[in-house]
Structure 1
């Protein structure tokens, strides 16, 4: 078998190695996806491989292959996490950009990325502070493979290696992905910036009329935002929404909801 971890690996040899490994892997979908993830980990000298599926209200993350401890798997199993506002890294894939990139570059540099909630969460869950993405399908239901490690950001050469195998990975995923996928590790519900603003006003105890006045929108729009928030947080009322947001770290813990305006 050809090794793809060397600096001088020819792109076409990497593609041949990828296809050969997947063909030789057991027929089950998750094992073949893990095989692809393992090769991407080797190519980029990474420690963790993930597969991300976009959804209308966020995305699902599946850990593939090595690099995730049993304790981490148990802690995050079927876990719901909430994030708010734009995600410069994944939002590019959602917008249809299929260019392999890194989180550091997408966020505008390491100084911004390293202090972001997403980087701190990656350290907490996966033990990594650098992430590179290989998108294979764009749009609302995007699909991307992510690799991660600690230390220096991924180089142009690393991204060139990912770009070389991108067509082959995309073709293989199109054959495998619609079938039985491994269980998701984390489901992330993504609130928009306006939804987070409405949620914060809700947590302050404001009614729909007052929220609309402060947010600069109609009461009908407020109710639409609230419906979206309840759906993404998987709750049915304002108190449960605030409690869930506090539990997931989206809002700071505080006293009971005040009653005003």
Structure 2
């Protein structure tokens, strides 16, 4: 029997059913994560469920349960994406905030969220334009379950439902080790703010010494940032890094590549 959604939901029943379903799920990590995700999907009457797991250089996305459609999986398989700048939704979990929220609220309103690249990507891949997030572990290796749908943003009552089951979900996830998690559908690598600054200076043709002066760091640190940039963009030289950054939209302007002192 499914959960009672809406205002008539019994929070105790939701927690009991969560634990019961997970206990009865196949005895492996994938089956239990799918069970948790499917319950959250049902709880908020949403078609899509994802799990996001933080990594040192970004985060990984796993499509679970009803969210793991064949079409979405085929479009995500083996894909690597690079983004720059802050992520208003996920960065709060990385910094230690475990408050359930929505993308619209995290971005400061629907207008900002709907105009963001993340929202446009969600529409393109998942067919959703609203996301509710249930964080269950904070820090660099944060864990958050996301549910999504198309239409109006999730309500305060929806977030209350997530808060109801949050302790139980967090307790179940705490039993998992990162290396036990199923293979990710999509890896998102993020450039840090300093790496992005160095990349922009690089694109403008500045040498390491001038880049260090403008960025307020040593040449050695500049070279370390460049090494990280090359690794994340999967390139081996400055020109390739700039071209790759242009292709994926990390540079807002056309680089000059004119050498400056």
CA distance in structure 2 between the aligned counterparts of 1:185 and 1:251, rounded to whole angstroms:
26
Alpha-carbon deviations, 1:11-68, whole Å to 9, x = none? 1110011111111212221111011101101111111111111111111111111134
What is residue 104 of structure 2 aligned with on the other side? Answer: 104
Deviation at 1:166, TM superposition (A): 0.6
CA distance in structure 1 between the aligned counterparts of 2:117 and 2:58, rounded to whole angstroms:
16
What is residue 18 of structure 2 aligned with on the other side? Answer: 18
Runs of 5+ unmatched residues, structure 1: none
- Across the aligned residues of Structure 1 and Structure 2, the Cα RMSD in angstroms comes to 2.1
Query: Residues 2 and 17 of structure 1 are in contact (CA less than 8 Å); yes or no, is this contact kept in structure 2?
Result: no
What is residue 8 of structure 2 aligned with on the other side? Answer: 8
CA distance in structure 1 between the aligned counterparts of 2:131 and 2:9, rounded to whole angstroms:
22
What is residue 47 of structure 1 aligned with on the other side? Answer: 47
Alpha-carbon deviations, 1:147-171, whole Å to 9, x = none? 1111111101100100000111011
Deviation at 1:254, TM superposition (A): 6.1
What is residue 229 of structure 1 aligned with on the other side? Answer: 229
Deviation at 1:252, TM superposition (A): 6.5
Query: Residues 2 and 13 of structure 1 are in contact (CA less than 8 Å); yes or no, is this contact kept in structure 2?
Result: no
Deviation at 1:241, TM superposition (A): 2.2
Deviation at 1:124, TM superposition (A): 1.7
Runs of 5+ unmatched residues, structure 2: none
Assess, with a 3 A threshold, how the Cα gap between structure 1 residues 129 and 208 changes in structure 2: closer, same or farther.
Answer: same
Deviation at 1:258, TM superposition (A): 3.3
CA distance in structure 1 between the aligned counterparts of 2:70 and 2:177, rounded to whole angstroms:
25
CA distance in structure 2 between the aligned counterparts of 1:77 and 1:251, rounded to whole angstroms:
26
Query: Residues 50 and 67 of structure 2 are in contact (CA less than 8 Å); yes or no, is this contact kept in structure 1?
Result: no
Assess, with a 3 A threshold, how the Cα gap between structure 1 residues 179 and 219 changes in structure 2: closer, same or farther.
Answer: closer
CA distance in structure 2 between the aligned counterparts of 1:177 and 1:62, rounded to whole angstroms:
15
Q: TM (normalized to structure 2)?
A: 0.91
Query: Residues 60 and 187 of structure 1 are in contact (CA less than 8 Å); yes or no, is this contact kept in structure 2?
Result: yes
Answer yes or no: is 1:57 the counterpart of 2:57. yes
Answer yes or no: is 1:134 the counterpart of 2:147. no
Query: Residues 41 and 48 of structure 1 are in contact (CA less than 8 Å); yes or no, is this contact kept in structure 2?
Result: yes
Answer yes or no: is 1:199 the counterpart of 2:210. no
CA distance in structure 1 between the aligned counterparts of 2:4 and 2:23, rounded to whole angstroms:
17
CA distance in structure 1 between the aligned counterparts of 2:231 and 2:165, rounded to whole angstroms:
38
Q: TM (normalized to structure 1)?
A: 0.91
Deviation at 1:214, TM superposition (A): 3.9
Please list, as runs of the form range in 1=range in 2, the aligned pairs for 1:1-261 lying within 5 A after superposition: 1-178=1-178, 180-251=180-251, 258-261=257-260
Deviation at 1:223, TM superposition (A): 1.8
Could you say what secondary structure the match of 2:151 adopts?
A: coil
Alpha-carbon deviations, 1:210-231, whole Å to 9, x = none? 3234434432332232122223
Deviation at 1:119, TM superposition (A): 1.3
CA distance in structure 2 between the aligned counterparts of 1:113 and 1:122, rounded to whole angstroms:
11
Query: Residues 135 and 145 of structure 1 are in contact (CA less than 8 Å); yes or no, is this contact kept in structure 2?
Result: yes
Alpha-carbon deviations, 1:68-126, whole Å to 9, x = none? 44233122112111111111111110011111011111111111111112111211222
